[in-house]
Structures are given as C-alpha cells and as structure tokens.
Copies of this chain bind each other. A is one copy, B any other.
C-alpha cells in the first residue's frame, strides 16, 4: 500500500499538517523537524497523491495542449517546446488531438474544465468565433496561430505581412509569375486567408496583376496533398517562376514532385515554405522559408496562460511573435 501524509507524519512523530508544510515550504518549519519529516518521506518512498491535492486545491498543475495532429513536424516542434517550457515551470502537460475538427476544438474550449486541467493551449484550424457561446465560462485558454476571434488570449505570427514579405523576396530577382500552393476554397482556415491576402498585397506593391491561375488550392496542408495538387496543376499549366507553399511540409511534398519532373530548383522554379521546420534545412535544396522562434511562442503562450489563470476577468491579450525571411538554396538566385 502506498504511504500517505499520515504515515509520514506518524513515522516522523509530527502531525500531517507539518508534513504538508514541509512539502509546500510556505509556512516555516524548524530545521530538525523538517529533517525528520524528509527522512520519513524518503524511508517510506512517499509520493504525494496528486488527485487528492488537486481536489483540495482546486488546481491540478496540469495544462492541456491541443493540436490538430501531433505527427506533423510543425505541431511536433511546437509541442516539444511547450512541453519543455511547461516542465521547467512545474506544469504537467496533457495532449489532445483535434484532427482539425471544429467541433472538437469548441468542445475542448467549453468542456475542458473537468478540473483535471487548469488551462488549455489550443492550436485551432477552423475555430469559428460565432460557435463559441459568449457568457459560457471558459477555462483559461490561449490560442495559437491565426484565428479571427476576440474571446481568448492569443499568440501568433503575422501571416499576412510574412506572406507579403516572402512574396516580395521571391520576386526580387525579377520573377513575376509567382504561384502559391495552399489556398482554400470557401471558408478556409484563417491562416490560409491571411497568407493569400499577404501574397496579393505583395503583387499589388509590385504592380503585378493578380492571376487566378497561379492560386493552387490545397485544403489539407500535408506533403501528400501538396504533391498531388501540384502534380495535377503542372499537367494543366506552364511552370511558374516561383512557388510559395503555405507551409514547409507542403514545400517538401512540392520539391519531390518538381524533382521527379526534372525541373531544376531554383533555376527553373524557386520554392519557398513557411514555418522553418527542421527538415526544411535538410531538404534538397535547402528550403527558403518564413522563420520564427517556436520557443518564444511556447514561453509567451505559457506566460499568457498563467496570467489568465491569475486574473480571469482581464481583457484579451494578444502577442505577436517576430518572423524573418530566411533565403536558402531553394530560392537563391
């Protein structure tokens, strides 16, 4: 049977409260008493029962991290940093996968407060503001990425200006037929909309007329779907001078298609991505991308979350994380 505070107290010849005081270290405890208690804990191999502690305190020390799909490199990197930062701060992290399902995303926001978690970091894809009922008591939530809603705190990279800057960079050596891969039909993800707008903003700046036939739709942002979409596109259209993929993952799928078709990169077509995932650096050729510090995203998300836990009533906080255009072999003239 597992040892409890009572067992420890009995062995140390003190009361349970004193054991608790030793553990939590807020109330002062005399040195000899503390020593006796610590020894008793070690002897009994005492491990506190977190369920009991959570019940009593109303806080569990657990936060939930909800991502579309843990297997995608971008999500995996974000998850890694959040778990690492959270652990440094003493949090336990629980993983949820949404599968990009809006229903699941909302469910997590509204029903997550099962008191096993103190807060939620959610990377939504298609979270719709209208669906989140105002007035329902939300748990402390921080949203990751581009979302058009005003209800929760948020950490994001400005997709619009980043896409604009990347398009400008691709155009610099005089390229004018710049295609984008990853646009969505109808109501797509906020990120898709923002990145498309940024691309169009750049065209306007450059005085390049918009050309619908350079928008390559791709609903799911995976290498598979990107490869398929690009392959089908190239069957019907001439090769553009540059291809801006809305994620690095898509760019990796695109590179494999271009290579199979015997196109030289960047001579025949320049390629760029977005996210700066580790594999992009080792792509062939290495991938030009929009880079940003994922650890900053993690630490800012955790900062906002803990602040929110402390003050549920405070107004919405939004943090924008810096990005930079990193030009590598896939676009270098």
Residues of A within 8 A of B (CB): 2, 45, 47-52, 54-55, 60, 62, 65, 69-73, 75-77, 79-81, 83-84, 87, 92-97, 111, 113-116, 136, 223, 227, 252-253, 255-256, 259, 278-279, 281-286
The number of times this chain is found in the oligomer is 2
Which residues on B sit within 8 Å (CB–CB) of A256? 281-284, 286
Alpha-carbon distance A133/B197, docked complex (angstroms): 60
Alpha-carbon distance A87/B289, docked complex (angstroms): 34
Which residues on B sit within 8 Å (CB–CB) of A50? 114-116
Most chain-B Cβ atoms within 10 A of its Cβ — which of A71, A96, A136? Answer: A71
Given contacts A77-B71, A80-B97, A83-B70, whether A116 and B51 have CB atoms under 8 Å apart is yes
Is B283 in contact with A49, judged by CB distance below 8 angstroms? no
Alpha-carbon distance A332/B54, docked complex (angstroms): 57
Is B282 in contact with A253, judged by CB distance below 8 angstroms? yes
Most chain-B Cβ atoms within 10 A of its Cβ — which of A79, A87, A116? Answer: A116
Which residues on B sit within 8 Å (CB–CB) of A62? 94, 116
Not counting A71-B80, A83-B96, A259-B284, a sample of 13 additional A-B residue pairs whose C-beta atoms are within 8 angstroms of each other reads A51-B55, A62-B116, A70-B79, A71-B81, A92-B116, A93-B94, A94-B95, A95-B95, A223-B282, A252-B279, A255-B284, A256-B286, A279-B279
Alpha-carbon distance A94/B61, docked complex (angstroms): 12
Alpha-carbon distance A227/B286, docked complex (angstroms): 13
Alpha-carbon distance A279/B69, docked complex (angstroms): 15
Which residues on B sit within 8 Å (CB–CB) of A48? 114
Alpha-carbon distance A256/B83, docked complex (angstroms): 30
Which residues on B sit within 8 Å (CB–CB) of A54? 51, 54, 116
A223 CB to nearest B CB, Å: 5
Given contacts A55-B51, A223-B279, whether A79 and B95 have CB atoms under 8 Å apart is yes
CB-nearest residue of chain B relative to A256?
Answer: B282
Which residues on B sit within 8 Å (CB–CB) of A79? 70-71, 76, 95
Is A80 in contact with B70, judged by CB distance below 8 angstroms? yes
Most chain-B Cβ atoms within 10 A of its Cβ — which of A51, A252, A284? Answer: A51
Is A278 in contact with B95, judged by CB distance below 8 angstroms? no
Is A83 in contact with B55, judged by CB distance below 8 angstroms? no
A267 CB to nearest B CB, Å: 15
CB-nearest residue of chain B relative to A258?
Answer: B284
Given contacts A93-B94, A94-B93, A94-B95, whether A51 and B115 have CB atoms under 8 Å apart is yes
Alpha-carbon distance A95/B253, docked complex (angstroms): 29
Which residues on B sit within 8 Å (CB–CB) of A75? 76
CB-nearest residue of chain B relative to A81?
Answer: B71
Which residues on B sit within 8 Å (CB–CB) of A83? 70, 95-97
21 pairs across A/B with beta carbons < 8 Å? A2-B113, A2-B115, A45-B136, A47-B113, A47-B114, A48-B114, A51-B115, A65-B95, A70-B83, A71-B73, A71-B77, A71-B79, A71-B80, A71-B278, A75-B76, A83-B97, A92-B94, A93-B94, A227-B282, A256-B281, A259-B284
A42 CB to nearest B CB, Å: 12
Is A93 in contact with B95, judged by CB distance below 8 angstroms? yes
Which residues on B sit within 8 Å (CB–CB) of A55? 49, 51-52, 55
